[in-house]
Amino acid sequence: MEIPNKQEVEDISMKRIILTLTLLLAIPAILFAQGYQPKPVPEKIKGGEERLQYMARHYWDAYDFRDTTLLRTDYAEQAIVDYTALLQSTSSEEQRKAWQNLFNKAAKREQTERYFYATAVRYLDNRESPLYSPEMLELMLQAAQSSEQADISSKASFRLRLLSGNRVGQSIADFRIKTLRGEMTTLYGVLENKAALLLFYDPDCEDCKYAIYRIRHSQTVREAVAQKQMQVVAVCIGADEKLWRVACDEMPPSWTHALDKTDIRAQALYDLSELPRLYMVDSQHRVAAKDIDINHINEYLGFARARNNN
């Protein structure tokens, strides 16, 4: 089974949150009713896109970045949240300029800049956040990377390194593993010439246990594996061998089980800031989708099956 690429199923990999222009034009009355009040859009600017662009570029004009007392309440946090929500419906280029502008302003006070960086990361890089967006996170990190504060710059650079690897369309990164038979090999050594679901997990991680349970009980996944259209490769991260083997006993024997022997996290080969982490890989070992959940897996497999039947 060939896994469709991201472009073919763009509707499946849409951003988790979509803010329409209609809603955004109501932001001054809705989101900004409490707390920080950006300067109003001049009445002479009538077009919806022009007003949105003005708001994105002038949002922080009235904010006092030197006043660190604003960081002690939810005043600053809410301002960042509202700003991030606003940017969701602007272009990538507009977002890039907006984050660069924000960090240029926040640099007036080190404490403020650290707070803004940490808060932006918390909302953009948390899969449970309604503002979660790897695309915008990358643009924000690119802006933060130029910070004169070494800690912010180094953190942003490291996170960008993780994000830049294993992009959709790239060959999946290889690494050393140990199999249940005790063989030392690599990921490519166990990948077959068919689609694969690559699952990174920690046996002690409750979210990982839940994800494994859902994958095990997915009829779509079970059928794809049974029909030899896809393999599931479960890679254990950060556990000793005994704990790993116990975890494997609770997973289907039809899966390919592996123990990380490269220290993937230390080598920054994959973005494993949160577990579990799931990748869809095509028959030529290229990334078809990343950072997905069981719902996306079922949709991808369903789409691929329908396409192959036509």
The reported pLDDT for the residue numbered 168 is 92
E strand map for 47-139: none
Amino acid at 73: T
Residue whose C-alpha is closest to residue 39's, from 19, 49, 54, 25: 54
Q: pLDDT tens for residues 262-285?
A: 999 888 899 998 899 999 999 999
Domains of the chain from N-terminus onward: 21-164 (no CATH), 176-309 (3.40.30.10)
Q: How far apart are CA 94 and CA 145, in angstroms?
A: 18
Q: Looking at this protein, which amino acid is placed at residue 117?
A: Y
In degrees, rounded to 5, the angle at the alpha carbon of residue 282 between the alpha carbons of residues 276 and 283 is 130
Of these ranges, 6-10, 33-37, 114-118, the one predicted with the greatest mean pLDDT is 114-118
pTM across the whole model: 0.74
Sheet holding 184-186, edge to edge: 184-186, 176-179, 256-260, 230-236, 195-201, 277-281, 287-290
Count of C-beta atoms within a 10 Å radius of residue 121? 18
Cα dihedral 45→49→32→76 (10° resolution)? -110
Tokens at 121, concatenated: 């990361």
For 173-191, give one letter per residue: b (16+ CB within 10 A) or e.
bebbbbeeeeeeeebeebb
pLDDT in tens, 101-127: 999 999 999 999 999 999 999 999 988
